[in-house]
Amino acid sequence: METALIFEPYSLNELKLNNRIVMAPMTRSRSANEGNVATELTALYYKQRATAGLIITEGTFISEEAVGVVNVPGIYSQEQIAGWRLTTAAVHGEGGKIFAQLWHTGAYSHPDLHNGNKPLAPSNVNPEQQVFTAEGFKPSEAPQPMTVEDIKRTISDFKQAAINAFEAGFDGVELHGANGYLLQQFFSKNTNHRVDEYGGSIKNRARILFEILDELKGIVDMKRVAVRLNPSLNGIMGILVDDETIALYNYMVNKLNDYGLSYIHLIEPFTDVSAIPAAIQQVAKHFRKIYSGTIIINRGFNKETASQVLAAGDADLVSFGVPFIANPDLVARFKADAALNQPDQATFYTPGEKGYTDYPSLNN
């Protein structure tokens, strides 16, 4: 049967996934507590979704400097590590697997979130975004360009956050290199105007990613480290496709082959890029030829299209975002060909249980 592949187990190196349906990372802003700690409610939310072959958590901040959204649980304090242990124990108790997504928002932040200081970013480029602060959405401002010392400290913060994630019981970590946040701000020409070793050439703009991975080598098991990329992001989140975008991502993904990672997590174009020849049109298909390890593909998939992409061999696993918000038992619903609950966008980022842990499963 054509759809069976998504239900087949998958070996992510030695990590055995029960199926090929992955829960994509999604910020839910439910940690409105002192210290931004993941709580029992966070644990319940992920536990409800633990029949996914793999869960990737919401982006979790690697340091105070990394913060760009309110009420997001971090992974830089002892209290936060203890908070996340509730989630990893709950998911493992259900036989699930869970990676932490490590996040630094860079320019996509606001002075309100940094005691009045400008957020740090590769260059002085305002992403022109609305930032979710304690007083509601506010327009972003021009960030403070990072010194080399700032960059080295950030690399070290990624390393410590990865160590913390393993201490919290996660099965692995995913570096958030996508969606216009700090790492992608280094990758893209329009957000990186640096003239030092972190700007200019493709190799220089990609350098920070490989310096983070080089730091992790020897300290954590690289088979438990992953990277998320959004190569065709254009015109949203402050990022533009440019004449070197394809060459840049070809370089990065080819080089990632050398790191023996758990997987790379790719996103198909967020917007229509068919009129832009410099954009990669079919992301999974393109990188399948370049990357020799596991590929997770994302964006806009349903049961049928996920089955198709796996059957075509363009990806090994498919991640689902919004469908998992509204359907904790998405895997069972796919198996039963049952109708899906519709997501309520109004509660994506609001506090408490509503729109978070109160979506019904088939059996209740």
- Known catalytic residues are 181
Q: Which lies closer to ligand FMN via its Cβ, residue 47 or residue 299?
A: 299
Contact by Cβ (8 Å): 60, 100: yes
| Strands (DSSP E) found in 134-171 | 136-139, 144-145
C-alpha distances out from residue 143 to 16, 146, 276, 307, Å: 42, 9, 29, 42
Per 3-state DSSP, the chain is made up of helix, strand and coil in percentages (nearest 5) of 35, 15, 45
Residue 145 or 321: the one with the smaller Cβ distance to ligand FMN is 321
Stretch that binds ligand FMN, among 141-149, 219-227, 240-248, 317-325 (CB under 6 A): 317-325
Residue 295 binds ligand FMN (CB under 6 A): no
- x/- contact string, 196-235, with ligand FMN (CB under 6 A)? --------------------------------x-------
- Largest pairwise CA distance in the chain: 58
Residue 14: other Cβ atoms inside 10 A: 8
362 touches ligand FMN by CB under 6 A: no
Residues paired with 318 in a beta bridge: 21, 297
Question: Would residue 342 be called left, alpha or beta, if left means φ above 0 and alpha means ψ between -120 and 50 degrees?
Answer: beta
Alpha helices for 239-302 (secondary structure H): 245-256, 283-288
Question: Strand pairing partners for 230?
Answer: none
Nearby residues of 221 by Cβ (< 8 Å), 6 or more positions away = none
Nearest residue to ligand FMN on Cβ basis: 321
Q: Is 59 in the site for ligand FMN (CB under 6 A)?
A: yes
Residue 296's H or E segment, with its range, is: strand 295-298
CB of 59 to ligand FMN, least distance (A): 3
341 binds ligand FMN (CB under 6 A): no
Residue 326 engages ligand FMN in binding (rule: CB under 6 A): no
Does 340 bind ligand FMN (CB under 6 A)? Our answer is no
User: What is the separation of C-alpha 88 from the centre of its chain, rounded to a whole number of angstroms?
Assistant: 17
**Among residues 32, 163, 276, 322, the one that binds ligand FMN under rule CB under 6 A:** 322
The answer to whether 100 contacts ligand FMN (rule: CB under 6 A) is no
Question: Total residues contacting ligand FMN (rule CB under 6 A)?
Answer: 21
Q: Give the residue, chosen from 298, 307, 341, 357, that forms a contact with ligand FMN under the rule CB under 6 A.
A: 298
> Among residue numbers 111 through 130, which ones bind ligand FMN (CB under 6 A)?
none
Judged by CB under 6 A, the stretch of 77-85, 160-168, 236-244, 297-305 that binds ligand FMN is: 297-305
Interaction mask 131-170, ligand FMN, x per CB under 6 A:
----------------------------------------
Rg of the chain (C-alpha set): 19
Contact pick of 104, 159, 176, 303 for ligand FMN (by CB under 6 A): 176
Q: Is 68 in the site for ligand FMN (CB under 6 A)?
A: no
Which positions ≥6 away from 329 have C-beta within 8 Å? 48, 51, 361, 362, 363
Minimum gap (Å) between residue 4 Cβ and ligand FMN: 21
Binding piece for ligand FMN, criterion CB under 6 A, among 81-89, 130-138, 176-184, 280-288: 176-184
- The residue from 38, 43, 58, 186 that contacts ligand FMN (CB under 6 A) is 58
Which residue is listed with tokens 């393109």? Answer: 286
φ, ψ at 69 (rounded to 5°): -145, 140
Closest CA to 223 of 186, 261, 274, 256: 261
Closest CA to 229 of 189, 192, 175: 175
Between 25 and 96, name the residue whose CB sits nearer to ligand FMN.
25
Judged by CB under 6 A, does residue 321 bind ligand FMN?
yes
Binding part of the chain for ligand FMN, among 14-22, 108-116, 201-209, 316-324 by CB under 6 A, reads 316-324
Binding to ligand FMN by residue 308, rule CB under 6 A? Answer: no
Which positions lie near ligand FMN, rule CB under 6 A? 24-27, 58-59, 101, 176, 178-179, 228, 267, 298-301, 320-323, 348
